[in-house]
Amino acid sequence: MDESTVTPEAAEATVRDVVGRIEEAAVVDHAVLHDVLSAVLARGHVLLEDVPGTGKSVIARTIAESMGLEFTRIQFTPDLLPSDVTGSTVYDEQAGEFRFSEGPVFANVVLADEINRAPPKTQAALLEAMEERQVSIDGSTYDLPEPFVVIATQNPIEQEGTFRLPEAQRDRFSVKTSLGYPDLEGEMGLLERRANRRSLSPSVDPIVEPETVRELQELTEEVTVDEKIRRYIIELARTTRRSGHAATGVSPRGVQRVFEAARAAAIIDGRDYVTPDDVKRLAESTMAHRIVLTTEANVEGVAGSDIVRFALQSVDVPAVSPHASDDEPDADESDSGADDADPTDGRSGGAAPAAATAPGEAGGPNADTAPGESGSDGAGASDG
């Protein structure tokens, strides 16, 4: 792989320009944009789950437009066929031969709108594309364009006539996040933008070229991740697996996606090294959707995000200097006890730190946030 000629400082300025261009058309919380752009730079995919009208489709389109990327939208419905997504072989009467007709998945940014409304067979048509970045039709393999990002949306409040995403497909999304409603000032800004344009839907002009996006993605591969931070990511994942509320915790593939997203977050902040804060900032959006809850957890109202937050409280945060050698002793490097204790279940001998309260217990994280709401003002996105 060739080294990127872009510096982290230049990358930070570029991402700042992209964010500014997106905000010309949409009211969106910076934390949400950070998560989504981290996935884009990490060559990952994004799952946006929220109520209708919060700007999920607008975010996907404006990200593509601001980066000069080709954009397609696939409206998932119960009668959508796999070939409607990937394409099919058709007979060309003039040429007297069969040729491959590309489907809408052949684009840089693919919006899979209401993905949970299509049957599992059609949902599965995205699996090879998302993981292998290619599709296979009638024995032939076709590469997808680079960069390639799937941004899927689903509505959490209307489940009638929908097909729940299987765990294998949810695990292929680097990031899952929600937009929520904007605050008062955000909605005032939304109306101001609408008053200043003629078109019903907002759009933006490109601020960068597709080649720049590819260079930014290459740059993330050069970001340094200290061994202590790698261990920190692994310990967080292992803690979720031992939770008594989790039937299945964060998978090894999920660990890699967290690693990749953290490197992208470092680039967004203009650094060539990852800090523990990068991991902590992305932990919920990169880990929570990978956790399969037990029946008891569902009854008690415990969410995957609660388990991740408890893991963050339970695992010691490493003290890392970007210029320190991995062989240097670290004053904070000690066995957190995560391998000997189950912080959310009494099945092992260790005890969780006093500051951490297991999900579902008194004083623990509250998982009863209404769909479309968020924990902070303005954590939403809407078309402007």
Give the pLDDT band of residue 68 (cuts 50, 70, 90): very high
Most confident by average pLDDT, 18-27, 100-109, 136-145, 353-362: 100-109
Would the pLDDT of 361 be above 80? no
Question: How much of the chain exceeds pLDDT 90, in percent?
Answer: 54
- Give the pTM: 0.81
Q: How far apart are CA 257 and CA 110, in angstroms?
A: 20
pLDDT 10s digits, 176-194: 999 888 888 888 988 888 8
Are 193 and 256 in the same domain?
no
Whether 111 is covered by a domain: the verdict is yes
What is the average per-residue pLDDT within 131-141?
A: 88
| Of 51-55, 74-78, 195-199, 342-346, minimum mean pLDDT range | 342-346
Closest by alpha carbon to 296, among 340, 237, 245? 245
Are 37 and 172 in the same domain?
yes
Q: How far apart are CA 267 and CA 261, in angstroms?
A: 10
Provide the pLDDT for residue 93. 84
Are 43 and 103 in the same domain?
yes
Are 177 and 258 in the same domain?
no
At 153 the three-state DSSP class reads: strand
Closest by alpha carbon to 313, among 236, 384, 245? 236
CATH number for the domain including 290?
Answer: 1.10.8.80
Q: Tell me which residue range forms the domain holding 235.
A: 223-369
Residues in CB range of 93: below 8 A, 6 or more apart: none
The residue whose two tokens read 């740059």 is 219
Q: How far apart are CA 211 and CA 69, in angstroms?
A: 10
**How many structural domains are present in the chain?**
2
- For residue 10 the two structure tokens come to 């230049």
Query: What's the farthest any 2 CA atoms get from each other in the chain?
Result: 75
Q: How far apart are CA 106 and CA 135, in angstroms?
A: 9
Are 110 and 228 in the same domain?
no
Residues in CB range of 350: below 8 A, 6 or more apart: 337, 340, 341, 342
The residue whose two tokens read 């609660």 is 306
Would the pLDDT of 265 be above 80? yes
Are 119 and 227 in the same domain?
no
Provide the pLDDT for residue 341. 43
